[in-house]
Structure 1
């Protein structure tokens, strides 16, 4: 259990640094969100959060959500999605999504979503899943989970752009209310 807790702390730290606040440790991300691995390890250690190279590789390889990815040559690392930094563009190609995607949220947010649809909030994109179970787990992190069905295919047919992150999460700018099916309601 202690190793798992250490890995979780490291994952949370990397999420902060690679998604939201690289300046916390004086790290620079390039325009596509990549950071030099050696520089990350050095600056994390100087910040008081040392990460062994082997631990970093294990975290990237075994993270159940594949939150992070190495470049093909292994010298750079980035968060797969979830950035709040407006300067980061993952440069993911636009793709046609499946007909239906899912969004997990907490029940306390449903009223707001019914009024204004799905918005990215502090992040760059709305996150969508291909699996209801994944969306349920995401929603459960914030309270009583609610899974919304998103008619992504219909939205895409109207010209709405979708991207798929390296970890399989679908990203889009926003989802209007009329393309969201709420639990217990008809289409």
Structure 2
């Protein structure tokens, strides 16, 4: 499978598993899990050409951001985080490191410094453990700006943090008082 094919399938999976399972008539359980056989069958509908289990397995195993995860026997799959639909990832609150990072486009910085970082249509704000990852996220939206978040202070102030299966730190909101550019 070419990198272009992997990217196309990965984008489709993100769309379906994070945002619009109904677009192919897919059922997700309360924790965001979909039946793998149902996903494969329903991905072949309409104009989308679908994929095999082997291709799906390769994408889950080789995706550099580990966006998707199988259950133990690989009969179910879900997105690791980034959902705009209401699901419960069953994440356990954890103490974050002293600082985490958020990558954004330059045109968003003034709003963020004024209002903080909002989750908007997502379930959580996504934060990175390192500046490199945050830079890659910010580059998707234009010239990247890396924001440093005083997450240890947030945690001390009673704000909850979660660590997703693919090591993305999640929280509900980052107040501007915890942000430095």
TM band (smaller chain): over 0.9
Deviations along 1:149-168, whole A, 9 cap, x unmatched? 00011101111000000000
Task: Name the SS of the counterpart of 1:114 in structure 2.
Answer: helix
Deviations along 1:8-28, whole A, 9 cap, x unmatched? 000000000000000000001
Q: TM-score, normalised by structure 1?
A: 0.94
Cross-structure match for 1:128: 127
Task: Name the SS of the counterpart of 1:45 in structure 2.
Answer: coil
Deviations along 1:129-155, whole A, 9 cap, x unmatched? 001000001000100000000001110
Unpaired stretches in structure 2, ≥5 consecutive residues: none
Cross-structure match for 1:105: 104
CA distance in 1, matches of 2:158, 2:72: 32
Unpaired stretches in structure 1, ≥5 consecutive residues: 183-187
Alignment partner of 1:59 is 2:47 = no
Cross-structure match for 1:185: none
RMSD: 0.9
Moved beyond 4 Å, runs of 4+: none
Aligned length: 180
Task: Name the SS of the counterpart of 2:69 in structure 1.
Answer: strand
